[in-house]
Amino acid sequence: MESVASNSPSSNNHQPPLRFRPIQPIADRIVRALRHHLRLLHRSDQSKFFVLGATGNVYIVTLSTTSSCTCPDRTSPCKHILFVFIRVLGVSLDDACLRRKTLRPCQLNRLLGAPILPEALAGVRVRERFHQLFFQFRQGSSQPVVEIEDGTTCPICLDEMEKCENVVTCGTCQNPIHEECLLKWKRSRGRRSVTCVICRARWRDGADQEKYLNLAAYANQDDPPTAEGNEGCGG
């Protein structure tokens, strides 16, 4: 009589199920956007939002089909982008755009056409201080001009770099890279350390020092926004 193979699975198949554990789930970032003390300082060009962070740093959120923020968190969307969506523009918590890394043009147009919610604004005194200090800060932190030789190509996109483009250089090898390409490279690294794509050294950029305007010293001047203040921040 022929032996019948056992129907029981081989012991080699008893592997523990793989578990997907996101580093920072979107729900956690939404909670941070709702609970952290974040305030809107100014809106300009309809798509740029100047956000006062919980530590007093000023971050710039730019809404586009691939929205971005100048904060150190390379997760997209970060809590500052979500703050603009939810608390500034009144996006519902079940809106699909909160969980997307990119926006459709129709979604973007809807967001850019939404009015600012007054309760998201920083106090009048803090916003006045921001306007007083921001121009001085931008002048003092202007980056040196990067000299681009004819025929130089970006090592990331491989396109030839023009002298009028925004370019940054590696602090180690001094090779130039498109600023936008570098930001995409940083996002692709997630929480891993960012290295130069040419020399592989850890990325160093002297312009990162004193990168943010900090208003922590004036945060205690925060007061309820007024209708007059809303007009000044509408942009």
- In the chain, the domains with their CATH numbers are 26-139 (no CATH), 143-208 (3.30.40.10)
Tens-digit pLDDT string for the chain (235 aa): 444 444 544 445 554 554 434 445 888 999 999 999 999 999 998 899 999 998 888 999 999 999 999 998 878 899 999 999 999 999 999 998 888 888 999 999 999 999 999 999 999 999 998 988 887 666 555 454 566 777 888 989 998 888 777 888 876 777 888 888 888 888 888 777 788 888 887 776 645 434 778 888 887 655 544 443 333 333 3
How far apart (Å, rounded) are the C-alpha atoms in residues 190 and 173? Answer: 23
